[in-house]
Amino acid sequence: MMPFQRRIASKATSSSGFVAESKGLVVLTGNSHPDLVKRICKQLTIQPCKSVTSKHSNRETKVEIQETVRGRDVYLIQTGTLHVNDDIMELLILAFACKAACARRVILVVPYLPYCKQNKMRKRGSITCKLIAQLICSTGIDHVITIDLHSKEIQGFFDVSVDNLRASPFLIRYIMETISDHRNCVIVAKDPNSVARATSYAERLRVSLAVIHGVDREDTERTDGRTSPPPMEGEIKDWDANGMVSDFMSQDGEILRRPKLEAWGANGDDQENIPKLTVSVPTHRKRTSESINSSGLEPEPLTSPFVHNVLDFLPALQEKEKPPLNLVGNVNGKIAIIVDDIIDDVDDYVTAAELLHSRGAYKVYLIATHGLLTGNAAEKIEQSLLDEVVVTNTVPHEVQKMQCHKIRTVDISPLLAEAIRRIHNGESMIRCTLLNFQQLPTIKFLPLFGTNRNLPGKREDYCAREGL
């Protein structure tokens, strides 16, 4: 090796050694959930990075990081609260500030992802969750850690890898430790969309499953699949006996008449007399004097009388009728446990509790991961037939707990702390939710700093050596 090559090699070695020695973990947070950050830092035996997040007089968000993050792995913890738009702006500005301060990596820890329920196209709306994901990725983050996304497909909205952790082991352990007669439970899905989640709980608890059917969504919540024809113009005025529209009103206010099928033998009497619709499309159209109107312009193709005749043969939209509320499954003499991922408005759960009590359930529990509990949800729960509402602390709800004694909180900080530790040490995340977190004291966590040769090879070997 030439002397110049040896100097380059030694310089690269020293540079890599400096990077390895300067590697460190920094926990940074906004104003969304300081209590959860304290619990996570206590599990990791570190102190959060000092920062100030404030607002100018014109309500603009201002962020100042008061410690160096150069060459370090920054774990930015920010969740969604009732001030969701402020939380998102704090998150974006903090992540961008870390990248501007030459952080080695920026890992976003968002226990509850805001706007995750807006993950489908609804009529003329938008997939807002995808927009939020693109905004987050535009700041330059490297990884995302979250808990129980509303839909697993949301992970595809991000341009970076996403670890979607599960809170169900903590909630199942709460059921087994708190409810003495948990073998006599029935897991209830509040609607058919929650059957998959309820089935997972029922299989792990070895209990039966029930489904509440009939709580139909409003028309504004219907999914636009972009595969069906758009609704007709005008206001529907009358429905005939065959479900076809006989009258409808145009935009000009004129009532247009449609021929009814009875005149053409719709009842099966004169099927031969039904006129057949034949369409011939020319390959090209010549410009004739008849096709030019008085203004000198050709009429639009879709405004010709031919199109109106075609609309007469299109089937009309059937009138919607919500089915009555019904319960599929037996809950008589048992404990009913309603499971869901997000508790926002509690009206549906209050109605479900009344139905379950009327079918013989002597206790009704409501268990979910994210307890938003917006509006007067605490007051409604207090006055309802729900015996207990169990949520995790992914979202702060201390005020709601003061208003309602039925709300219980399960601490989820050990799961997030273990995920941070594993990602920082380069370990696998496959067994992150399979560990018994109740037996993991603070001092037993693996070291967070130092070179790789100081770290144990596998988590399983460490647990076996420490007797966990």
Which CATH number belongs to the domain containing residue 362 in this structure?
Answer: 3.40.50.2020
Euclidean distance between CA atoms 313 and 259, whole angstroms? 9
93/108 same-domain check: yes
Residue 275 domain-assigned (yes or no): yes
Q: Is residue 10 part of a domain?
A: no
- What is d(CA 290, CA 447) in angstroms, rounded to the nearest whole number? 86
What are 443-452's pLDDT values in tens digits? Answer: 233 333 333 3
**Both tokens of residue 296?**
């000198």
Give the DSSP per-residue string, 176-217. HHH-TTGGGEEEEESSGGGHHHHHHHHHHHT-EEEEEE--PP
Query: Where is the domain boundary, 410, 428, 454?
Result: 410
pLDDT in tens, 179-205: 989 999 999 999 888 999 999 999 999
Same domain, 185 and 114: no
Q: Tokens in use for 124?
A: 């003329």
Distance in angstroms (rounded) separating the CA atoms of residues 24 and 68: 11
Residue 9 has pLDDT above 50, yes or no: no
**Least confident segment among 136-150, 251-265, 335-349, 376-390:** 251-265
Q: Give the pLDDT band (50/70/90) at residue 3.
A: very low
pLDDT for 113? 96
Residue whose C-alpha is closest to residue 314's, from 259, 255, 254: 259
Does 84 reside within a domain?
yes
Helix (H) or strand (E) holding 257: strand 255-257
Higher pLDDT residue, 264 or 176?
176
> pLDDT tens digits for 269-298?
555 554 554 444 444 444 454 545 555 665
**DSSP run (H or E) holding 462:** helix 459-466
Cβ distance 343 to 152 under 8 Å?
no
117, 62: one domain:
yes
Q: Tell whether 417 and 401 lie within a shared domain.
A: no
pLDDT for residue 399 is more than 90: yes
Last residue of a domain, which of 410, 432, 458?
Answer: 410
* Domain range enclosing 345: 169-215+325-410
Same domain, 161 and 192: no
Identify the helix (H) or strand (E) that includes residue 39. helix 34-44
Same domain, 197 and 246: no
Q: State the Cα–Cα distance between residues 74 and 193, nearest whole angstrom.
A: 37
In this structure, the answer to whether residues 249 and 145 fall within a common structural domain is no
Rounded-to-integer distance, Cα 189 and Cα 234, Å: 39
At residue 264 the predicted structure's pLDDT band, cuts being 50, 70 and 90, is very low
* d(C-alpha 286, C-alpha 294), whole Å: 18
Task: Give a yes or no: residue 435 inside a domain.
Answer: yes
- Which pair of structure tokens corresponds to residue 54? 């404030």
For residue 236, give the DSSP letter.
Answer: E
| pLDDT for 378 | 95
Count of CB atoms within 10 A of residue 468's CB?
14
If one compares 438 and 141, the residue with the highest pLDDT of the two is 141
Residue range 353-362, pLDDT digits in tens: 999 999 999 9
Res 214: pLDDT: 82
Residue 103's Cβ-side half-sphere holds a number of Cα atoms within 13 Å equal to 28
Domain count within the chain = 3
Q: What is the pLDDT of residue 118?
A: 92
Residues 344, 256 share a domain: no
Residue 300 has pLDDT above 90, yes or no: no
Over residues 72-126, the pLDDT tens digits come to: 999 999 999 999 999 999 999 999 999 999 999 999 999 999 999 999 888 888 9
pTM: 0.70
DSSP readout, 267-298? TSS-GGGSPPP-----SS----STT--TTSSP
- Residue 125 maps to a domain: yes
Q: Give the percent of the chain with pLDDT over 90.
A: 57
Same domain, 25 and 152: yes
pLDDT score at 19: 33
What share of the chain has pLDDT > 70, as a percent?
65
Mean pLDDT of the chain: 77
Residue 278: exposed, middle, or buried by beta-carbon count in 10 A (0-12, 13-18, 19+)? Answer: exposed
Is residue 299 assigned to a domain? Answer: no
Q: CA 14, CA 5: separation in Å to the nearest integer?
A: 14
Residue 179 resides in a domain? yes
State whether 204 and 250 are in the same domain: no
| Among the listed residues 361, 357, 364, 367, the one whose alpha carbon sits nearest the alpha carbon of residue 334 | 361
| Number of neighbours of residue 272 by Cβ within 10 angstroms | 6
The pLDDT score that the predictor gives to residue 223 is 53
Q: How confident is the model at residue 24 (pLDDT cuts 50, 70, 90)?
A: confident
Higher pLDDT, 92 or 222: 92
Alpha helices in 305-426 (DSSP H): 305-311, 347-358, 377-383, 398-403, 413-425
Higher pLDDT, 73 or 218: 73
What is the pLDDT averaged over residues 54-70?
A: 91
Residues 49 and 86 in one domain: yes
CA dihedral 15, 21, 23, 27 (to 10 degrees): -150
According to the model, what pLDDT value does residue 323 have? 76
Contact in structure between 79 and 36 (CB atoms under 8 Å): yes
Domain contains 286: no
Residue 353 has which token pair?
A: 């509790």
pLDDT for 432: 72
77 and 194: one domain?
no
